[in-house]
């Protein structure tokens, strides 16, 4: 642990206890309860820990859940759950509510998605699809660039953005090595990896954790259910347009000098067995069930567990494959869900902090556009410095409370209402790609040595700003949910 991390850890702990022991009147929130004040302390602690990265982000999430269990629930530290006269405090949560964050339906959705991704890599489904999908783009460098943007974005809708970026870099590295030193086009190709991975994840509910965070909080807080198919219908067209914009931007800043570009992805050298065919069929059936949820009435969260059951029962998914699941992402998301649960109204099992914040701040009288702009910019800025998942986990529950306070504003529904507000924030998190540290795909692309930080800031900033503005109009006016 370096000096910066130690300072961050100490500052986070101090902030937690300062807020914990502050007089409740200092917050300017009428009727703030003891447990609501503790929840604020927990939020600030989580934010600072995620910003300073004193410990890994997923570790912070686990710590948040444990602290919440001890200080907010009926099975925690008993002396903290009663007042001086021995009466139970208002808003004590059931411990099962916090613990259920580990098995939230969206966590299961991601678990199913990760299972499909692991099996696709194990049996060569990813390599085969990449060969098939890139072939139509020929040898024209501009079209090859478009091909990589399209293929990477599609893969990122169903696989980890990081895994997709790593896989496509392996295919792209030999191609980049053949470019002349004075051909800027190779920089554009290298940048296509993180840009497409970050944008592509927006397309489905399993594409990136911020999407899952938005879906879960909408259902938990408002009872609003968004199916896999509904999300995809609305957001894949957005992804397509953003990919086309990215393609144009990359060509403007990094024009190709070469006239021909050969893409030779090696054939899948894994033997074709009945298990390979099983993976193909299960993958196709799962996507079909996700896309037809409105017809079959089977929740996408339940569908996500079908491939896991099929692969486990047939011995296709082994105990060694379990180690390939990105458990750190699942636990990181779970910590965010626990914070969201604590924000809920008391009758929904939370501390009621969300309602208290709404009553304290006159959101209903604020300009809707201003609220969207501030929320989007805060999320975008924060996501460039800490994990997109952590940013969404922190901000989405707060925005749910804000949107609750905007229901009295007659123009709120005209701007897409609660769905637009929460989903917009999730999209803003995915559009943050200014620097090598912003996302793992950015870091992977930067490792090629071809990209300078100023190139990433320039292109990432332009695409990010365009994406922020366009996503606002897309979700509020052009194609609202």
Closest CA to 300 of 219, 205, 389, 158: 205
pLDDT of residue 205: 94
Please answer whether residues 221 and 344 qualify as being in contact, where contact means their C-beta atoms are separated by less than 8 angstroms: yes
pLDDT of residue 10: 95
Closest CA to 61 of 340, 371, 344, 452: 340
* DSSP three-state, residue 412: coil
Q: How many CB atoms lie within 10 A of CB 340?
A: 25
Please answer whether residues 176 and 190 qualify as being in contact, where contact means their C-beta atoms are separated by less than 8 angstroms: yes
pLDDT of residue 151: 94
- CA dist 444 and 101 (Å) reads 31
Residue 88 phi, psi dihedral angles, 5° rounding? -65, 135
pLDDT of residue 75: 95
> What would the DSSP string read from start to end of 221-267?
HH-----HHHHHHHHHHHHHHHHHHHHHHHHHHS----S-----PPP
The two tokens of residue 75 are 């099975």
The two tokens of residue 259 are 């006239």
Please answer whether residues 206 and 212 qualify as being in contact, where contact means their C-beta atoms are separated by less than 8 angstroms: yes
pLDDT of residue 102: 93
pLDDT of residue 130: 85
The per-residue pLDDT for range 322-353, each reduced to its tens digit, is 998 989 889 988 998 999 999 888 988 999 99
pLDDT of residue 294: 80
DSSP 8-state code for residue 396: H
Please answer whether residues 91 and 341 qualify as being in contact, where contact means their C-beta atoms are separated by less than 8 angstroms: no
pLDDT of residue 223: 93
The per-residue pLDDT for range 100-109, each reduced to its tens digit, is 999 999 899 8
pLDDT of residue 365: 74
For residue 409, count CB atoms less than 10 angstroms from its CB and return exposed for 0-12, middle for 13-18, buried for 19 or more.
middle
Residue ranges, the chain, pLDDT below 70: 364
Beta bridge partners of 88: 82
Total-model pTM: 0.86
């Amino acid at each position: 642990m370096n000096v910066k991390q130690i300072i961050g850890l100490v500052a986070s702990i101090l902030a937690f206890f300062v807020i914990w022991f502050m007089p409740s009147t200092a917050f300017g929130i009428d009727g703030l309860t003891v447990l609501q004040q503790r929840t604020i302390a927990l939020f600030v602690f989580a934010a600072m820990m995620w910003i300073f990265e004193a410990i890994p982000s997923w570790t912070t999430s686990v710590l948040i859940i444990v602290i919440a269990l001890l200080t907010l629930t009926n099975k925690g530290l008993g002396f903290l759950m009663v007042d001086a006269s021995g009466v139970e405090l208002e808003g004590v949560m059931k411990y099962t509510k916090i613990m259920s964050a580990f098995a939230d339906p969206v966590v299961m959705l991601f678990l199913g998605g990760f299972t499909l991704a692991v099996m696709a890599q194990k049996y060569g489904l990813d390599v085969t699809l990449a060969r098939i999908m890139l072939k139509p783009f020929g040898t024209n460098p501009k079209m090859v660039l478009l091909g990589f943007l399209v293929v990477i974005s599609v893969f990122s809708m169903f696989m980890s953005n990081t895994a997709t970026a790593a896989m496509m870099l392996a295919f792209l590295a030999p191609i980049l090595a053949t470019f002349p030193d004075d051909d800027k086009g190779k920089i554009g190709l290298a940048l296509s990896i993180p840009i497409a991975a970050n944008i592509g994840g927006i397309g489905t509910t399993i594409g990136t954790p911020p999407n899952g965070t938005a879906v879960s909080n909408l259902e938990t807080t408002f009872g609003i259910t968004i199916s896999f198919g509904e999300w995809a219908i609305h957001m894949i067209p957005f992804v397509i347009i953003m990919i086309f914009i990215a393609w144009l931007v990359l060509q403007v800043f990094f024009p190709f000098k070469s006239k021909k570009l050969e893409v030779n992805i090696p054939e899948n050298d894994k033997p074709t067995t009945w298990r390979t065919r099983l993976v193909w069929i299960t993958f196709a059936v799962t996507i079909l069930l996700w896309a037809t949820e409105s017809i079959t009435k089977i929740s996408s969260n339940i569908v996500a567990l079908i491939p896991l059951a099929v692969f486990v029962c047939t011995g296709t998914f082994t105990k060694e494959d379990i180690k390939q699941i990105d458990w750190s992402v699942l636990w990181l998301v779970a910590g965010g869900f626990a914070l969201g649960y604590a924000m809920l109204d008391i009758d929904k099992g939370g501390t009621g902090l969300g309602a208290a914040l709404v009553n304290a701040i006159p959101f209903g009288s604020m300009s809707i556009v201003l609220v969207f702009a501030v929320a989007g910019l805060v999320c975008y800025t924060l996501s460039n410095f800490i994990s997109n998942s952590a940013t969404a986990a922190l901000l989405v529950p707060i925005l749910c409370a804000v949107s609750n306070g905007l229901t009295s504003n007659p123009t709120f529904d005209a701007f897409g209402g609660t769905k637009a507000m929460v989903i917009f924030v999730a999209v803003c998190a995915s559009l943050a790609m200014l620097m090598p540290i912003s996302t793992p795909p950015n870091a992977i692309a930067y490792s090629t040595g071809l990209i300078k930080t100023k190139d990433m800031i320039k292109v990432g900033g332009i695409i990010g700003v365009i994406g922020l503005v366009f996503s606002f109009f897309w979700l509020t006016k052009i194609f609202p949910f």
